[in-house]
Amino acid sequence: MFFIFGIGPKTKVIQKSQFLCPVCRTRNTYELKQQRNYFSLFFIPLIPLSKAKGEFVKCLNCGTEMPSTVLNHAQPD
């Protein structure tokens, strides 16, 4: 028999909304994401091996990934 297994990160989208991106300086949609390490069998994540790591934000316009603290700043409407 042949088994393919390993440990690797899996990213999960927690929230989608809009914000003022500090990079492209326009109001765009973002994804708030979270990562955890998983034990994988045949490239399928099965068992979580760690607690959730830090969250990060990805601007869907420019593709830049930033710390989630950019959402805490005052956003002009």
| Token digits of residue 59 | 């601007």
Residue 42 lies in a domain: yes
Residues 30, 21 contacting (CB under 8 angstroms): yes
Angle subtended at Cα 62 by Cα 58 and Cα 68, rounded to the nearest 5 degrees: 25
Q: What range does the domain containing 46 cover?
A: 14-71
The average pLDDT across 47-60 equals 89
Q: Is the pLDDT of residue 57 over 90?
A: yes
Q: Is the pLDDT of residue 76 over 60?
A: no
| Token digits of residue 51 | 């607690």
Residue 3 lies in a domain: no
The total domain count for the chain is 1
